[in-house]
Amino acid sequence: MQLIYQTNNLFDAHLVKHALEAADIPAFVFGESLLGAGGELPLFGLLRVCVPDSAKAEAEDIVAALGLDEGGDAPILDDDEAPGFLPA
């Protein structure tokens, strides 16, 4: 198994998994059952999406095309000109 994508977000992990499965690449999400645990587990990097060794190159191209690590614009604008509270 080869690590293709690592995230802290369950939605992103399953988005990658479903995109890979749509291209007929078997994908597995590891660490999903650890999300509710606490104690000595790390807070980040628990979710890993892995594929078989033979599918690594094609899977990397598919994950790169998803553009999940690009950041993009935030859905909430954080500018200095925000009106704050408005009268009712």
Give pLDDT tens digits for 32-61. Answer: 877 666 655 555 667 899 999 999 999 999
* pTM of the predicted protein model: 0.70
Q: What is the dihedral of CA 39, 45, 47, 52, to 10 degrees?
A: -130
Residue 79, pLDDT above cutoff 70: no
Helix (H) or strand (E) segment spanning residue 74:
none
Q: Is the pLDDT of residue 81 over 70?
A: no
Quote the pLDDT of residue 38: 61
Identify whether the C-beta of residue 50 lies closer than 8 Å to the C-beta of residue 31: no
Q: Which domains does the chain have, with CATH numbers?
A: 2-66 (3.30.70.790)
- pLDDT value at residue 25: 96
Share of residues in the chain with pLDDT > 90 (%): 44
